[in-house]
Amino acid sequence: MKDITQFFKAKKNGEKLTLISTYDYWSAKLCEEAGIDAILVGDSLGMVVQGNDSTLPVTLEEMIYHTKAVRKGAPNTFIIVDMPFMTYHTTVEEAVKNAGRVIKETGANAVKIEGASEIVLETTRRLTSIGVPVMGHLGLTPQFINIFGGYKVQGKTEESQQKIIQQAKELETVGAFSVVLEAVPSDLAKTITTNLKIPTIGIGAGKETDGQILVFHDLIGIFEKTPKFVKRYLEGGKLIKQSLEKFKEEVKNGQFPTEEHSY
Protein backbone atom coordinates (compact mmCIF):
# COMPACT_ATOMS: atom_id res chain seq x y z
CA MET A 1 0.00 0.00 0.00
CA LYS A 2 1.37 3.38 -0.98
CA ASP A 3 0.99 5.77 1.94
CA ILE A 4 1.61 9.40 2.82
CA THR A 5 5.28 8.82 3.66
CA GLN A 6 6.04 8.50 -0.07
CA PHE A 7 5.36 12.25 -0.36
CA PHE A 8 7.98 13.14 2.25
CA LYS A 9 10.52 10.57 1.01
CA ALA A 10 10.17 11.83 -2.56
CA LYS A 11 10.77 15.42 -1.46
CA LYS A 12 13.78 14.41 0.61
CA ASN A 13 15.30 12.28 -2.14
CA GLY A 14 14.47 14.64 -5.00
CA GLU A 15 12.30 12.02 -6.72
CA LYS A 16 9.34 13.27 -8.74
CA LEU A 17 5.84 12.25 -7.70
CA THR A 18 3.22 11.24 -10.28
CA LEU A 19 -0.47 11.84 -9.63
CA ILE A 20 -3.52 11.35 -11.82
CA SER A 21 -6.94 12.87 -11.38
CA THR A 22 -9.57 10.28 -12.20
CA TYR A 23 -13.04 9.18 -11.20
CA ASP A 24 -13.89 5.52 -11.82
CA TYR A 25 -12.97 1.87 -11.32
CA TRP A 26 -11.32 1.01 -14.63
CA SER A 27 -9.12 4.08 -14.97
CA ALA A 28 -8.05 3.81 -11.32
CA LYS A 29 -7.13 0.16 -11.93
CA LEU A 30 -4.94 1.17 -14.89
CA CYS A 31 -3.29 3.91 -12.80
CA GLU A 32 -2.44 1.43 -10.04
CA GLU A 33 -1.13 -1.12 -12.55
CA ALA A 34 1.03 1.60 -14.12
CA GLY A 35 2.52 2.44 -10.70
CA ILE A 36 1.14 5.98 -10.42
CA ASP A 37 2.03 7.28 -6.93
CA ALA A 38 -1.37 8.69 -5.96
CA ILE A 39 -4.83 9.29 -7.38
CA LEU A 40 -6.86 12.44 -6.89
CA VAL A 41 -10.60 12.05 -7.26
CA GLY A 42 -10.88 15.58 -8.54
CA ASP A 43 -14.01 17.70 -8.63
CA SER A 44 -12.99 18.25 -12.26
CA LEU A 45 -15.38 15.32 -12.68
CA GLY A 46 -18.04 18.02 -12.83
CA MET A 47 -16.66 18.99 -16.23
CA VAL A 48 -15.06 15.75 -17.47
CA VAL A 49 -17.82 13.31 -16.46
CA GLN A 50 -20.89 15.49 -16.01
CA GLY A 51 -20.32 17.96 -18.85
CA ASN A 52 -20.71 21.12 -16.75
CA ASP A 53 -18.68 24.22 -17.54
CA SER A 54 -17.22 24.45 -14.00
CA THR A 55 -16.60 22.35 -10.90
CA LEU A 56 -19.11 24.32 -8.83
CA PRO A 57 -22.20 22.05 -9.15
CA VAL A 58 -20.41 18.91 -7.85
CA THR A 59 -21.87 17.52 -4.63
CA LEU A 60 -20.39 15.64 -1.69
CA GLU A 61 -22.55 12.61 -2.54
CA GLU A 62 -21.12 12.53 -6.06
CA MET A 63 -17.55 12.69 -4.77
CA ILE A 64 -18.30 9.82 -2.38
CA TYR A 65 -19.91 7.76 -5.17
CA HIS A 66 -16.92 8.18 -7.50
CA THR A 67 -14.30 7.65 -4.79
CA LYS A 68 -15.85 4.30 -3.79
CA ALA A 69 -15.38 3.12 -7.39
CA VAL A 70 -11.81 4.46 -7.54
CA ARG A 71 -10.93 2.69 -4.29
CA LYS A 72 -12.16 -0.62 -5.72
CA GLY A 73 -10.00 -0.14 -8.83
CA ALA A 74 -6.92 0.97 -6.88
CA PRO A 75 -6.95 -0.81 -3.51
CA ASN A 76 -3.24 -0.14 -2.86
CA THR A 77 -2.94 3.46 -4.02
CA PHE A 78 -2.97 6.62 -1.91
CA ILE A 79 -6.24 8.37 -2.76
CA ILE A 80 -6.98 12.05 -2.22
CA VAL A 81 -10.50 13.44 -2.63
CA ASP A 82 -11.47 16.96 -3.63
CA MET A 83 -13.91 18.53 -1.19
CA PRO A 84 -16.48 20.18 -3.48
CA PHE A 85 -17.56 23.80 -3.43
CA MET A 86 -19.58 24.77 -0.32
CA THR A 87 -18.70 21.65 1.69
CA TYR A 88 -15.93 23.40 3.67
CA HIS A 89 -16.85 27.07 3.49
CA THR A 90 -19.50 27.74 6.14
CA THR A 91 -18.06 26.46 9.42
CA VAL A 92 -15.04 24.42 10.44
CA GLU A 93 -17.43 21.95 12.15
CA GLU A 94 -19.29 21.31 8.92
CA ALA A 95 -16.04 20.99 6.98
CA VAL A 96 -14.70 18.45 9.46
CA LYS A 97 -17.97 16.48 9.37
CA ASN A 98 -18.00 16.43 5.56
CA ALA A 99 -14.34 15.43 5.25
CA GLY A 100 -14.92 12.79 7.92
CA ARG A 101 -17.75 11.32 5.83
CA VAL A 102 -15.50 11.13 2.78
CA ILE A 103 -12.80 9.25 4.67
CA LYS A 104 -15.23 6.93 6.53
CA GLU A 105 -17.44 6.05 3.59
CA THR A 106 -14.90 5.72 0.77
CA GLY A 107 -11.64 4.39 2.17
CA ALA A 108 -9.77 7.39 0.76
CA ASN A 109 -6.62 8.56 2.54
CA ALA A 110 -6.76 12.36 2.32
CA VAL A 111 -8.76 15.34 1.17
CA LYS A 112 -7.88 18.40 -0.90
CA ILE A 113 -9.27 21.87 -0.33
CA GLU A 114 -8.70 25.05 -2.31
CA GLY A 115 -7.25 28.39 -1.24
CA ALA A 116 -5.87 29.59 2.06
CA SER A 117 -8.67 31.60 3.63
CA GLU A 118 -8.99 31.67 7.41
CA ILE A 119 -11.56 28.87 7.39
CA VAL A 120 -9.40 26.72 5.09
CA LEU A 121 -6.37 27.18 7.34
CA GLU A 122 -8.34 26.35 10.49
CA THR A 123 -10.00 23.37 8.78
CA THR A 124 -6.61 22.08 7.66
CA ARG A 125 -5.31 22.36 11.20
CA ARG A 126 -8.36 20.59 12.69
CA LEU A 127 -8.49 17.80 10.10
CA THR A 128 -4.78 17.09 10.43
CA SER A 129 -5.15 16.97 14.22
CA ILE A 130 -7.84 14.28 13.98
CA GLY A 131 -5.94 12.18 11.43
CA VAL A 132 -7.17 13.42 8.08
CA PRO A 133 -4.29 14.55 5.85
CA VAL A 134 -5.02 17.69 3.82
CA MET A 135 -3.59 18.66 0.45
CA GLY A 136 -3.73 22.37 -0.39
CA HIS A 137 -4.43 23.87 -3.82
CA LEU A 138 -3.21 27.33 -4.88
CA GLY A 139 -2.91 29.39 -8.06
CA LEU A 140 -5.76 28.77 -10.48
CA THR A 141 -8.20 27.26 -8.00
CA PRO A 142 -11.24 26.33 -10.15
CA GLN A 143 -13.77 26.90 -7.35
CA PHE A 144 -12.82 30.63 -7.54
CA ILE A 145 -13.68 30.89 -11.21
CA ASN A 146 -16.23 33.64 -10.65
CA ILE A 147 -13.65 35.73 -8.79
CA PHE A 148 -10.92 35.17 -11.39
CA GLY A 149 -13.30 35.80 -14.31
CA GLY A 150 -12.23 32.65 -16.17
CA TYR A 151 -9.57 29.97 -16.24
CA LYS A 152 -6.62 32.34 -16.21
CA VAL A 153 -2.98 31.91 -15.22
CA GLN A 154 -2.47 33.25 -11.68
CA GLY A 155 0.59 34.83 -10.05
CA LYS A 156 1.53 37.07 -12.94
CA THR A 157 2.07 40.24 -10.87
CA GLU A 158 4.60 40.70 -8.07
CA GLU A 159 1.74 41.28 -5.61
CA SER A 160 -0.13 38.09 -6.49
CA GLN A 161 3.13 36.11 -6.46
CA GLN A 162 3.87 37.28 -2.93
CA LYS A 163 0.32 36.36 -1.91
CA ILE A 164 0.63 32.80 -3.27
CA ILE A 165 4.06 32.34 -1.63
CA GLN A 166 2.57 33.49 1.68
CA GLN A 167 -0.46 31.21 1.30
CA ALA A 168 1.77 28.21 0.60
CA LYS A 169 3.78 28.89 3.76
CA GLU A 170 0.58 29.23 5.79
CA LEU A 171 -0.76 25.92 4.49
CA GLU A 172 2.49 24.21 5.44
CA THR A 173 2.39 25.78 8.91
CA VAL A 174 -1.13 24.51 9.65
CA GLY A 175 -0.22 20.98 8.61
CA ALA A 176 -1.01 20.46 4.91
CA PHE A 177 1.04 17.48 3.66
CA SER A 178 1.36 18.77 0.10
CA VAL A 179 0.20 21.63 -2.13
CA VAL A 180 -1.06 21.60 -5.72
CA LEU A 181 0.11 24.61 -7.74
CA GLU A 182 -2.10 25.13 -10.77
CA ALA A 183 -1.47 27.42 -13.74
CA VAL A 184 1.22 29.64 -12.26
CA PRO A 185 4.52 30.79 -13.81
CA SER A 186 7.33 28.23 -13.53
CA ASP A 187 9.59 30.63 -11.62
CA LEU A 188 6.95 31.16 -8.95
CA ALA A 189 6.40 27.39 -8.63
CA LYS A 190 10.16 26.94 -8.30
CA THR A 191 10.40 29.55 -5.53
CA ILE A 192 7.54 27.95 -3.58
CA THR A 193 8.97 24.46 -4.07
CA THR A 194 12.37 25.55 -2.77
CA ASN A 195 10.87 27.30 0.23
CA LEU A 196 8.55 24.53 1.42
CA LYS A 197 9.39 21.36 3.31
CA ILE A 198 6.23 19.69 1.97
CA PRO A 199 6.07 18.61 -1.67
CA THR A 200 4.46 20.74 -4.36
CA ILE A 201 2.47 19.07 -7.13
CA GLY A 202 2.26 21.04 -10.34
CA ILE A 203 -0.26 21.28 -13.14
CA GLY A 204 0.63 23.98 -15.61
CA ALA A 205 3.34 25.11 -13.19
CA GLY A 206 6.51 24.08 -15.00
CA LYS A 207 9.00 21.35 -14.26
CA GLU A 208 10.44 22.44 -10.91
CA THR A 209 7.63 21.22 -8.68
CA ASP A 210 8.13 18.03 -6.66
CA GLY A 211 5.51 16.19 -8.69
CA GLN A 212 3.09 16.50 -11.57
CA ILE A 213 -0.62 15.81 -11.89
CA LEU A 214 -2.75 15.48 -15.02
CA VAL A 215 -6.38 14.61 -15.57
CA PHE A 216 -6.63 11.03 -16.92
CA HIS A 217 -8.95 11.99 -19.79
CA ASP A 218 -6.63 14.82 -20.88
CA LEU A 219 -3.57 12.58 -20.82
CA ILE A 220 -5.22 9.96 -23.03
CA GLY A 221 -6.60 12.57 -25.44
CA ILE A 222 -10.32 11.99 -25.00
CA PHE A 223 -11.33 15.54 -25.85
CA GLU A 224 -10.49 17.39 -29.05
CA LYS A 225 -9.04 20.38 -27.22
CA THR A 226 -6.82 20.37 -24.15
CA PRO A 227 -5.16 23.24 -22.26
CA LYS A 228 -1.56 24.23 -23.15
CA PHE A 229 -0.15 22.48 -20.07
CA VAL A 230 -1.50 19.05 -21.06
CA LYS A 231 0.64 16.54 -22.90
CA ARG A 232 -1.54 14.07 -24.83
CA TYR A 233 0.11 10.67 -24.50
CA LEU A 234 -2.55 8.99 -26.63
CA GLU A 235 -5.13 10.13 -29.17
CA GLY A 236 -7.72 8.12 -27.22
CA GLY A 237 -10.76 10.05 -28.41
CA LYS A 238 -9.93 9.42 -32.09
CA LEU A 239 -9.15 5.73 -31.48
CA ILE A 240 -12.37 5.16 -29.53
CA LYS A 241 -14.43 6.93 -32.18
CA GLN A 242 -12.82 4.79 -34.89
CA SER A 243 -13.69 1.62 -32.91
CA LEU A 244 -17.30 2.72 -32.55
CA GLU A 245 -17.55 3.48 -36.25
CA LYS A 246 -16.03 0.07 -37.06
CA PHE A 247 -18.51 -1.68 -34.75
CA LYS A 248 -21.38 0.13 -36.40
CA GLU A 249 -20.13 -0.75 -39.89
CA GLU A 250 -19.57 -4.44 -39.05
CA VAL A 251 -22.99 -4.88 -37.47
CA LYS A 252 -24.69 -3.17 -40.40
CA ASN A 253 -22.87 -5.28 -43.01
CA GLY A 254 -23.09 -8.57 -41.07
CA GLN A 255 -19.36 -8.93 -40.28
CA PHE A 256 -20.07 -8.97 -36.51
CA PRO A 257 -20.76 -11.22 -34.69
CA THR A 258 -19.10 -14.24 -36.28
CA GLU A 259 -18.98 -17.84 -35.01
CA GLU A 260 -16.04 -16.80 -32.81
CA HIS A 261 -18.28 -14.46 -30.77
CA SER A 262 -21.34 -16.73 -30.68
CA TYR A 263 -22.47 -19.55 -28.36
Contact predicate 25/69, CB 8 Å: yes
Binding to ligand KIV by residue 183, rule CB under 6 A? no
SS3 30: helix
Q: Using CB under 6 A, pick the residue from 213, 219, 220, 222 that binds ligand KIV.
A: 213
DSSP H helical ranges for 39-112 = 45-48, 60-73, 92-106
Q: For ligand KIV, which stretch binds (CB under 6 A), given 9-17, 40-48, 145-153, 251-259?
A: 40-48
Binding to ligand KIV by residue 83, rule CB under 6 A? no
Binding to ligand KIV by residue 193, rule CB under 6 A? no
**29: burial class by Cβ within 10 Å (0-12, 13-18, 19+)?**
middle
Q: For ligand KIV, which stretch binds (CB under 6 A), given 6-14, 35-43, 99-107, 189-197?
A: 35-43
Q: Using CB under 6 A, pick the residue from 42, 139, 155, 199 that binds ligand KIV.
A: 42
Residue closest to 21 by CA, chosen among 90, 73, 94, 70? 70
Amino acid found at 15: E
Q: Which of 158, 172, 182, 224 is catalytic?
A: 182
Nearer to ligand KIV by C-beta: 13 or 146?
146
Q: Using CB under 6 A, pick the residue from 215, 219, 220, 222 that binds ligand KIV.
A: 215
Binding to ligand KIV by residue 136, rule CB under 6 A? no
Binding to ligand KIV by residue 203, rule CB under 6 A? yes
- Is 62 in the active site? no
Nearer to ligand KIV by C-beta: 2 or 112?
112
Binding to ligand KIV by residue 110, rule CB under 6 A? no
Nearer to ligand KIV by C-beta: 223 or 256?
223
User: What are the distances in angstroms from CA 72 to CA 29, 81, 97?
Assistant: 8, 14, 24
Q: Using CB under 6 A, pick the residue from 10, 31, 44, 174 that binds ligand KIV.
A: 44
Binding to ligand KIV by residue 188, rule CB under 6 A? no
CB of 40 to ligand KIV, least distance (A): 6
Nearer to ligand KIV by C-beta: 62 or 182?
182
d(CA 36, CA 30): 9
DSSP 172-197: HHHT-SEEEEES--HHHHHHHHHH-S
Helix axes 25-33, 60-73, angle to 10 degrees: 40
Amino acid found at 85: F
Strand partners, 38: 19, 78
User: What are the distances in angstroms from CA 242 to CA 219, 237, 249?
Assistant: 19, 9, 10
Binding to ligand KIV by residue 60, rule CB under 6 A? no
Nearer to ligand KIV by C-beta: 59 or 256?
59
Q: Which residues are catalytic?
A: 182
